Each structure stands twice: as C-alpha cells, then as structure tokens.
C-alpha cells in the first residue's frame, strides 16, 4: 500500500504532466484549424486539375512525353512524408509500416520531415535526399521535392516514383496511403467523385483544340500538375499531423485527469483510515 506522501507526490507529478499535455492540445488545436482549412480549400482546384490532365492525356492519342513513359521497374524511389515531431498517435508508425514493405535492394528514399529521415536511418535504407517543410507548407517546398523526383525519373536513375503520405479525412481519421507519382497516370486518390472513367474518356469523340499546340500545352501542364499535386500532399500531411496530435494530447489529458481522480480517492481513503485509527487509539487510551 502506498503511503500518503507517495500518493501526494504522484498526484503532483501527474498534474504537471496534465498541464503540459493540455497546453500542447491547445497549441495543436490552433494549428489544426489553419492546416485543415488549407488542405480542404485546395482540394477542388487539385481535383479539377486532375480531371483536365486525365482528359487531355487520354484524348491525345499518340502523344508521348517522358513523364508519361511506363518502364519496367528495376529501381524505385519512394517519397516518405512524415511529421517533424512525435506525440501524434500512430500517424508516423502507419507510414513507416508502409515504407518497410518496399524491397531495400531496389528502393531509394526521399524524405520530408525529421521523423521520416530518422526512420530511414534506423532501418538502414538508402536515403538520397532529405527535405523539410514548415507548419504552413509553402509551394516552393513542394516544388523542390517534385523537381528532384522528376529529375531522377527523367535521367532514368529510377523507373518509378511513389509517395507515402497521410491523407486527411477528418479530425479523427487520417489514412496512410501509397500513391503513384511518376510516371504520371491515374491518381485515384485525387479522383473527383463523379469524374469520368478512363473507358468513357477513351470512347469520347469530342474534338479538343490546343493552342499553340498539344505538345506545348501538355508539357507545361504535366510539370505544374506534379508540383501542385505534391503541394496538396504536404497540406494533407500537415493537417493530419496537427489533427492526430490534438486528439492524442486530448486523450492523454483525459487519462491523466482520470488517474488523478483515482489517486485522490485512494489518498482520501487512506487519510480517513489513518484518522479513524488515531481516534480509536485515543478512545482506547482514555478507557484504560
């Protein structure tokens, strides 16, 4: 049985921890609202751009571009996007579980976020580039990551590029996904509900006109499509991180408060028992 002093010490210690987790919860909640708004605001534009890209490529017929070239995969690059910090539940663990499924002999990694780089170092995987992104992801940060991956693919140093990141669903739900990035294809994760299928696009006989020419338009479109797609992935990753951290800290605070109540109850019972014991001893001494 714990002594009253031990119980008081534990209550003070847990109370201090609860104050810290409560403060972290409030900070994460403030950042979460901004991150969620940014992620949700960009989705309609990215989905519209995705639809334009698929319709244009499908209707081009014999048009070929290096970013569309499908090759036999002998070497693959994986862009692993994780959080800079922990204390966000199973968010990072779910991402790392997907990353661990790739063959280390034929896979090289590009990381964004300190936790991602730390995991690759611990797992002894080949890391060829490490990027950072802020709490408010900037388009320049996304463009740098996309440009590096694009150059690897165009130089034939890799035959495929994939992204492992978290898709923001809502405050309580964030899903870890592995997305195809290069060669440019049908990114089903960005597909807008109700969008036309590949078969419908292929059989559509509607004439499309491109100015100045189809090659110039699609060459320009594909590069920007990749940059903007990467930017949306970063926005989703940051919204997911802040949401998961807010929920995790909220649960930690509630658990600490529950533990404090249990320890306080135990302390009061022990204190009451000691007082009762002392009164009985006093009464027994008087009777003698």
Domains of the chain, by residue range, sit at 24-185+205-246
CATH fold group of domain 24-185+205-246: Pyruvate Kinase; Chain: A, domain 1 (3.40.1380)
pLDDT number for residue 196: 52
Three-state SS string across 186-231, please? CCHHHCCCCCCCHHHHHHCCCCCCCCCCHHHHHHHHHHHHHHHHHH
User: Which residues of the chain are modeled with pLDDT < 50?
Assistant: 188-195
pLDDT value of position 157: 93
Supply the pLDDT for residue 191. Answer: 45
What is the distance between the alpha carbons of residues 15 and 201, in angstroms, rounded to a whole number? 61
Please write the tens of the pLDDT for every residue from 68-112: 888 888 999 999 999 988 888 889 999 999 999 999 999 999 999
pTM of the shown model: 0.83
């Amino acid at each position: 049985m714990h002594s009253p002093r031990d119980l008081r010490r534990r209550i003070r210690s847990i109370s201090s921890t609860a104050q810290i987790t409560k403060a972290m919860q409030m900070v994460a909640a403030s950042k979460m609202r901004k991150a969620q708004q940014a992620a949700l605001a960009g989705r309609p534009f990215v989905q519209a751009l995705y639809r334009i890209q698929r319709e244009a490529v499908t209707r081009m017929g014999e048009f070929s571009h290096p970013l569309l070239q499908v090759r036999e995969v002998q070497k693959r690059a994986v862009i692993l996007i994780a959080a800079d910090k922990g204390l966000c539940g199973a968010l990072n663990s779910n991402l790392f579980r997907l990353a661990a499924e790739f063959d280390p002999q034929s896979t090289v990694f590009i990381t964004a976020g300190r936790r991602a780089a730390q995991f690759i170092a611990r797992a002894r995987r080949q890391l060829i580039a490490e990027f950072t992104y802020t709490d408010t992801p900037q388009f320049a940060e996304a463009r740098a990551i996309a440009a590096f991956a694009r150059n690897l693919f165009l130089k034939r140093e890799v035959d495929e590029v994939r992204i492992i990141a978290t898709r923001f669903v809502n405050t309580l739900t964030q899903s870890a996904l592995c997305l195809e990035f290069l060669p440019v294809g049908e990114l089903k994760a960005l597909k807008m509900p109700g969008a036309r299928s590949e078969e419908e696009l292929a059989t559509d006989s509607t004439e499309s006109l491109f100015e100045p020419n189809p090659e110039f338009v699609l060459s320009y479109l594909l590069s920007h499509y990749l940059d903007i797609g990467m930017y949306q992935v970063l926005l989703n990753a940051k919204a997911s991180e802040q949401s998961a951290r807010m929920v995790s800290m909220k649960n930690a605070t509630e658990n600490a408060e529950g533990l404090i109540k249990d320890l306080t109850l135990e302390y009061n019972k022990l204190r009451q028992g000691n007082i009762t014991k002392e009164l009985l001893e006093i009464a027994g001494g008087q009777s003698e």
